[in-house]
Amino acid sequence: MARGINKVILVGNLGNDPDVKYTQGGMAVTRISLATTSVRKDRDGNTQERTEWHRVVFFGKLGEIAGEYLRKGSQVYVEGSIRYDKYTGQDGVEKYSTDIIADEMQMLGGRGGGEGGGGGSYERSPRPQRQESAPRPQSAPSRQPAPADDFSDDDIPF
Amino acid sequence: MARGINKVILVGNLGNDPDVKYTQGGMAVTRISLATTSVRKDRDGNTQERTEWHRVVFFGKLGEIAGEYLRKGSQVYVEGSIRYDKYTGQDGVEKYSTDIIADEMQMLGGRGGGEGGGGGSYERSPRPQRQESAPRPQSAPSRQPAPADDFSDDDIPF
Amino acid sequence: MARGINKVILVGNLGNDPDVKYTQGGMAVTRISLATTSVRKDRDGNTQERTEWHRVVFFGKLGEIAGEYLRKGSQVYVEGSIRYDKYTGQDGVEKYSTDIIADEMQMLGGRGGGEGGGGGSYERSPRPQRQESAPRPQSAPSRQPAPADDFSDDDIPF
Amino acid sequence: MARGINKVILVGNLGNDPDVKYTQGGMAVTRISLATTSVRKDRDGNTQERTEWHRVVFFGKLGEIAGEYLRKGSQVYVEGSIRYDKYTGQDGVEKYSTDIIADEMQMLGGRGGGEGGGGGSYERSPRPQRQESAPRPQSAPSRQPAPADDFSDDDIPF
DNA sequence: TTTT
DNA sequence: TTTT
């Protein structure tokens, strides 16, 4: 449960190769710098461009895939959320940073700038539940008021 | 892995109470009819309205929550994807239907029209992996090139 | 002013070249068929694919650009809204259709599948304000290959 | 034309009443602070909350509407883009800020927290085309409480 | 600083 | 009907 929606959708190109690090626990933390450019005409009719550089972070399996397949120049679709952080720099001054925490990624263009090329979409892996054994979901009612006749006993369909 | 993005974001009101059914396996399949209205001025300056009625489907845990908390008139945020189906009606004629398969929902407005009221956001539960035992993720490299110094050993953070 | 949000975001590939028609008033109405594919593992661990074919419609200037630059196989980002229509077929039977009305488009991949290639983003032009004499858009070709028979001479519809 | 997609979708509650200022040219520049809260379970099964405070900016007509109808506590849907700015503070130190530039807004919940209540959606007005004499917008109040000192007399910025 |  |  949460309260509110915080969703970001980006399509842009990487300004550099991804930066991949690992936590002590072995989780990948991959960062990219992603450019999106918008264009408008100013009041004198001149075309003006402005580029935003987004700091995008991928965790876990998604971070490994990003680190492996993305390269400087790659075009990529990213979906995630905004996170604002405040920290104290080495100079003792309070600083602020903004990151996009990715939870879905799709390489675009067939060969985005890297050699591996190829498009493909990946989702952030669900956090593994920490539990002794996987109990049967308690949410399923013991008695069904009415069958959903157009779905078999499979799990959630497409 | 997938190829393409198919994403729908809706904010609207329910035209009726949810319709909850269950598969033989006990999975909830809840359907709602969601109205979104757009307004424009026609060439004569008159205001014209048009309402789309979306058929939204919630599966599993999300379907149970939708069935429990949503009511006719409730305002809700839904995120999901479009699914087109083709089937043969009882009259032998081919028919087409379009559904929005929800994977996130948030009740809006503090008391959307039902008594339970209250807002809150819910995500579609991840499909449980079917496996003998949960093996340690092979994706974690045996050796880490560099520690991600700003994340502890926790799982994926906020 | 409106009531509700009806938003669709697609990234996919064209199954065919665009179909461009013009209203009697000279407005372009361009249709494409856009594929998005999702993949999941079924309960037996087998990979299953499912492709949705979206009918996307571009009006006006955006329709002209889509018709000019998109080609079969092109990868494209589309943003728009869902519209459901009900009509009576030639056989007297009521039918339903679902279209995505585009209001933003971006060609992806650096060379979308056509020769013109190159990416770029375009927005639906605002509806021209009613004015003394509506000059014929200069971008409309002097000869229309085919009338868009299902749209009157109005400006961009809902 | 542009290159890239930079899209943000937020649903949240205002932490304070809107701050409305006007440029010397009479354009409203309204700022709100919008909270979105996410919840997760940490590895010990405890519920953890994290709230992001988004700085959202509305320009022009949209800014006037936001200033008029939104209030502390109001729930609102906002669509826009992210803009990162870098500036030198009064202390001579370089600082960074992140804003969400809104181009669509919808009040939620039937009575957003203010008296006017009611939901409704508004889009950013298209930039007026350069014209002989730019008439002063009639919607701008005859007296501006405070100048929006960080925007010149230009129209809606990036 | 909001909200539940 | 696309794409990988």
* Per-residue pLDDT tens digits for A19-51: 999 999 999 999 999 999 999 888 899 999 999
Check CB contact under 8 Å for A8 and D12: no
Percent of chain C with pLDDT over 90: 56
State mean pLDDT over D109-122: 56
pLDDT at B3 over 50: yes
D1 CB burial (10 A radius; 0-12, 13-18, 19+): middle
State mean pLDDT over D117-132: 58
pLDDT at C115 over 60: no
Find out whether D119 and D106 touch, Cβ atoms under 8 Å. yes
Nucleotide nearest to A118 (CA to C1'): F4
Nucleotide nearest to C109 (CA to C1'): F3
Higher-scoring residue by pLDDT: B142, C87: C87
Residues of A (127-146) whose Cβ lies below 8 Å from B: 127-128, 134, 137, 139-141, 144-146
Q: What is the pLDDT at residue B2?
A: 76
Contact list in A for residue C77 (CB cut-off 8 A) is: 11, 77
C138 CB burial (10 A radius; 0-12, 13-18, 19+): exposed
Higher-scoring residue by pLDDT: A124, D21: D21
Residue nearest to nucleotide E1 (CA to C1'): D15
pLDDT at C44 over 90: no
Pairing of strands B47-59, B28-41: antiparallel
pLDDT at B155 over 90: no
Q: How far is the CA of D71 from the C1' of E1 (A)?
A: 12
Contact list in D for residue C2 (CB cut-off 8 A) is: 106, 120-121
Q: Where are the domains of chain B?
A: 1-105
Candidates C34, C12, C22, C18; CA nearest to C114 is C18
Check CB contact under 8 Å for B148 and A26: no
Task: Please give the single-letter amino acid code of residue B3.
Answer: R
Half-sphere exposure of A50 (CA within 13 A, CB side): 12
pLDDT per residue as tens digits for the range C59-110? 999 999 999 999 999 999 999 999 999 988 888 888 899 999 999 999 998 6
What the block records as the tokens of D154 is: 């230009």
Of residues 58 to 117 in chain D, which lie within 7 A of strand E by their beta carbon?
A: 72-73, 75, 113
Class of domain A1-105: mainly beta
State mean pLDDT over A77-104: 94
Measured in whole angstroms, the distance separating CA D15 from the mean position of its chain's CA atoms is 13
DSSP bridge partners of C80: C8, C102
Q: What is the 3-state secondary structure (H, E, C) of chain B?
A: CEECEEEEEEEEEECCCCEEEECCCCCEEEEEEEEEEEEEECCCCCEEEEEEEEEEEEEHHHHHHHHHHCCCCCEEEEEEEEEEEEEECCCCCEEEEEEEEEEEEEECCCCCCCCCCCCEEEECCCCCCCCCCCCCCCCCCCCCCCECCCCCCCCCCC
pLDDT per residue as tens digits for the range D7-28? 999 999 999 999 999 999 999 9
Residues of C (72-111) whose Cβ lies below 8 Å from D: 77, 79, 106
Q: What is the pLDDT at residue B46?
A: 92
Higher-scoring residue by pLDDT: B70, A139: B70
pLDDT at A140 over 50: no
Give me chain B's average pLDDT, please.
80
Check CB contact under 8 Å for C13 and B4: yes
Chain E: bases < 7 Å from a protein Cβ: 1-4
Residue D135: band (very low, low, confident or very high) from pLDDT cuts 50, 70, 90? very low
State mean pLDDT over C4-29: 97
Indicate the range of B37-41, B97-101, C89-93, D80-84 predicted with least confidence.
C89-93
pLDDT at D106 over 70: yes
Residue C147: band (very low, low, confident or very high) from pLDDT cuts 50, 70, 90? very low
Find out whether C78 and C10 touch, Cβ atoms under 8 Å. yes
How far is the C-alpha of A126 from the C-alpha of B156, rounded, in Å? 9
Residue nearest to nucleotide F1 (CA to C1'): C15
What the block records as the tokens of A119 is: 């498009």
pLDDT at D115 over 90: no
Q: Which residue has the tokens 């917008």?
A: D137
Q: What is the pLDDT at residue C124?
A: 80
Measured in whole angstroms, the distance separating CA A43 from the mean position of its chain's CA atoms is 37
